[in-house]
Amino acid sequence: MSTPKEDIINSLKEAIMLHQETLLNDLLLIAGIEEIDEKAYQKMLQKIKEEDPKLIKLLKSLEAQEIIEHVLTNKLES
Q: How confident is the model at residue 74 (pLDDT cuts 50, 70, 90)?
A: confident
pTM of the model as a whole:
0.74
Evaluate whether 22 touches 45 at the Cβ level (below 8 Å). no
* 39: containing domain: 4-77
Domain count, the chain: 1
pLDDT digits (tens, 9 = 90+) for 3-55: 999 999 999 999 999 999 999 999 999 999 999 999 999 999 999 999 999 99
